[in-house]
Amino acid sequence: MIAHPTQKSALRVCSLNVNHSNVATHTTMHHISTQKDPPFNIILVQEPLWGKINSSHTTVSLARWQVTLLKPTIVQNECPRMVSYHRLGTGINLMLRTDIAQDLDYMIMNVGREGAAWPQTILINIYNQKAQDTNNGITQEWTSDHLQSHIPIQSIPMIIAGDWNIRDPSWDDRVPAPNL
C-alpha cells in the first residue's frame, strides 16, 4: 500500500449545485483552496460554470484537485450539467465509466482507495430534469428514470447524489400547493 500523509480511510463526498454562477463557483473554489485539510476529498458539482477559455470550452480548474468531465469529448454546442473533482495525493482512484454511459445529465464513476480492503464504490452524479423532445416539444422521462437502465447491477456499494430538482411549496414559491 502506498502511504499518503493526508489519506483517511473514508471517502468524503460533497455535492453542490453552483447554478452556472461565476461568483458561486469561484467563491467555492477559493474557500476549498484555502483549507489546510478540506472536510471532503470528492466534490460533485451540478450546473457547473462552463464556457470558452482560450480556444476550448471547459470548466474551472482547482489547484491540487483533478477535474473529471462526464465524457471524453464534449462538442461546442453541448453544456455538461455536472463535473466532479477529487483531491490529488489522497490515494483516491476514480474511473469514469464511459463504457456504461456517456450522458450530459449524469456520470457514473468507480471510486476506491489505493490498498483498501473494501471494494470500490459506484458513485453517480446526477442532474435530474425532464428531457425535452426537440422535434415536438413533448416532455419525456426524468433523467433519473433514464438512468435506471444504465445503473450497473453489482453487489458493491453505490451512492447516487446530485440535484434532483425536487420542489416543495413550503420553501419554493414557484410550486403550486397541492389540491387536497
Q: Which contiguous run of DSSP H or E holds residue 160? A: strand 158-163
Question: What is the reported pLDDT for 87?
Answer: 94
Mean pLDDT of 94-115: 90
| pLDDT for 64 beyond 80 | yes
pLDDT confidence bin for 1, thresholds 50/70/90: very low
> How much is the mean pLDDT over the chain?
81
Which CATH number is correct for 13-163, 3.40.50.300, 3.40.50.2300, 2.40.110.10, 3.60.10.10? 3.60.10.10
Q: Show the cell assigned to 143.
A: 433523467
Question: What is the reported pLDDT for 59?
Answer: 87
Q: Which residue has the higher pLDDT, 169 or 63?
A: 63
Predicted confidence (pLDDT) per residue in 119-177, tens digit: 889 999 988 776 655 565 555 566 666 677 767 677 788 888 888 776 666 666 776 66
Question: What is the reported pLDDT for 91?
Answer: 92
Contact 13, 44 (CB under 8 A): yes
Rg of the Cα trace of the chain?
18
Q: What ranges make up the beta strands (E) of 31-157?
A: 42-46, 51-53, 56-58, 65-69, 82-87, 92-96, 106-113, 121-127, 130-132, 139-142
| pLDDT for 74 beyond 50 | yes
Which of 62-66, 85-89, 142-146 is least confident? 142-146
Predicted confidence (pLDDT) per residue in 5-25, tens digit: 444 578 899 999 999 999 999
Rounded to whole angstroms, how far apart are CA atoms 176 and 164?
18
| pLDDT for 44 beyond 80 | yes
Q: What is the dihedral of CA 94, 113, 46, 67, to 10 degrees?
A: -50
Contact 25, 48 (CB under 8 A): yes
